[in-house]
């Protein structure tokens, strides 16, 4: 079994009629995702690849049962779209936009916690369980990157995820579920909050964390391992080890400030907790082997 989404998850797509929305909705369906309806205000009555479109989430829910919402709206409109999904009782949301205002992300995280919902993003490619389902934009047809297997992946990055995942596959492994928490300084969901799902998931035998400088999400993973919340093998790759201090380099979330966020500190915390840290993407698969993770 995968986590977060599978073949049975019924997905609503907000912003389905836009160019990215319709393009990636088609790919989601192609992979086997159950997309049941879409929402774009003013476009009710339209169909996108046979999927009916409604003016609002509430109107869509009158005709469809929905488990999750995939949001393809521009950054300025993201907060409103997430609030709409949450207030209509949808408990799983993936929101992709790169460039969501910081204060909107603070409000989104606050609202998600209040509704006891899981919102993934923003600034992410989304969630994919290869050969199962996806919510987001992954080149799932590139087999050397997205192959099904037993490695859970969590990431703050997009292109780097393709890079690292390709290396995992090259070593003979595949992916159970990949979750992009996103590159924003305030992601709606943090690495450590997803670990219990990977812990429970039978398909996942090890987890790879793709992190980077800035913030404290990697340290929180180390803490979860030390507390016994997550006990499976864990390998991390962290970008920005040689980055100059105090410089915003990379994602908005990637800046070292206040003595926190330095990659060396993250490596220390993860290593102390028993995780292995790869110094380059090509080493990730080798470290999984070193931890005796079976290839299946």
Partner 1 sequence: MKLYEYQVKELFKNAQIAIPKSQLINNVEQAPAAFSSIGFPCVIKSQVLSGGRGKAGLIQFVKDEKKGLEEVARLFSLPQKISTLLIEEAVDIAHEVYASFTIDPVSGTALSIVSATGGVDIETLAIEQPEKILQTKIDMSLGLQPYQASHIAYECGFDVDIAKKFTQLLLKLYRLFVQYDCELLEINPLFITKSNELVAGDGKCSIDDNSMFRHEDISVPLADIENEAERLAMEEGIPFIQFDGDISLMCAGAGLTTTVYDLINYEGGTVANYLEFGGPHYKKAMKAMEICLKVPSKVILIVTFGTIARADVMAQGIVEAITKLKPDRPIITCIRGTNEIEAVETLKKAGLIPLFDTEEAVRLAVALAKEAKT
Interacting residues toward partner 1 by CB under 8 A: 20, 75-76, 98-103, 106-107, 109-110, 113, 125, 137-139, 142, 155-163, 166, 183, 185-187, 190, 210, 212-213, 215-216, 220, 239-244, 247, 249-254, 257-259, 279-282
**Nearer of residues 151 and 243 to partner 1, judged by Cβ:** 243
| Contact between 167 and 210 (Cβ < 8 Å) | no
Compare residues 92 and 140 and give the one whose CB is closer to partner 1: 140
The residue among 167 and 288 lying less far from partner 1, judged by its C-beta, is 167
Q: Are 93 and 85 in contact (CB under 8 A)?
A: yes
Phi, psi for residue 235 in degrees, rounded to 5: -120, 140
Distance, in Å, from the CA atom of 35 to the CA atom of 9, rounded to the nearest integer, reads 8
Give least dist CB 60 to partner 1, A.
25
Residue 152: partners with Cβ closer than 8 Å, 6 or more residues away: 3, 175, 176, 177, 178, 179, 198, 201, 204, 206, 207, 208
Which are the catalytic amino acids?
A: 251
**Cβ at position 262, least distance to partner 1 in Å:** 12
160/275 with CB nearer partner 1: 160
- Residue 176: its H or E element: strand 175-180
- Asked if 59 contacts 41 with a C-beta cutoff of 8 angstroms, the reply is no
CB 176, CB 2: distance < 8 Å: yes
CA proximity to 180, closest of 169, 196, 191: 191
């Amino acid at each position: 079994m995968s986590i977060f989404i599978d073949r049975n998850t019924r997905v609503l797509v907000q912003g389905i009629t836009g160019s990215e929305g319709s393009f990636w909705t088609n790919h989601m369906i192609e992979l086997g995702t159950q997309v049941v309806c879409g929402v774009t205000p003013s476009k009710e009555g339209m169909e996108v690849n046979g999927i009916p479109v409604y003016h609002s989430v509430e109107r869509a829910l009158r005709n469809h049962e929905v488990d999750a919402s995939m949001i393809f709206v521009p950054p300025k409109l993201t907060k409103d779209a997430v609030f709409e999904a949450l207030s209509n009782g949808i408990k799983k949301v993936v929101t992709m936009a790169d460039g969501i205002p910081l204060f909107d992300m603070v409000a989104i995280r606050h609202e998600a916690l209040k509704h006891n919902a899981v919102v993934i993003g923003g600034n992410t490619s989304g969630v994919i369980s290869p050969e199962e389902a996806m919510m987001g934009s992954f080149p799932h047809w590139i087999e050397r990157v997205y192959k099904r297997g037993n490695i859970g992946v969590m990431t703050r990055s997009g292109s780097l995820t393709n890079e690292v995942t390709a290396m995992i596959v090259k070593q003979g492994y595949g992916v159970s579920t990949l979750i992009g928490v996103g590159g924003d300084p305030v992601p709606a969901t943090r690495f450590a909050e997803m670990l219990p799902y990977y812990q429970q998931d039978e398909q996942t035998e090890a987890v790879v964390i793709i992190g980077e400088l800035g913030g404290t999400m990697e340290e929180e993973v180390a803490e979860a391992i030390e507390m016994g919340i997550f006990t499976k093998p864990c390998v991390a790759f962290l970008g920005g080890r040689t980055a100059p201090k105090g410089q915003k380099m990379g994602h908005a979330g990637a800046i070292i400030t206040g003595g926190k966020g330095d990659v060396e500190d993250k490596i220390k915390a993860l290593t102390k907790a028993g995780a292995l840290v790869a110094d380059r993407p090509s080493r990730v698969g080798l470290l999984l082997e070193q931890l005796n993770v079976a290839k299946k």
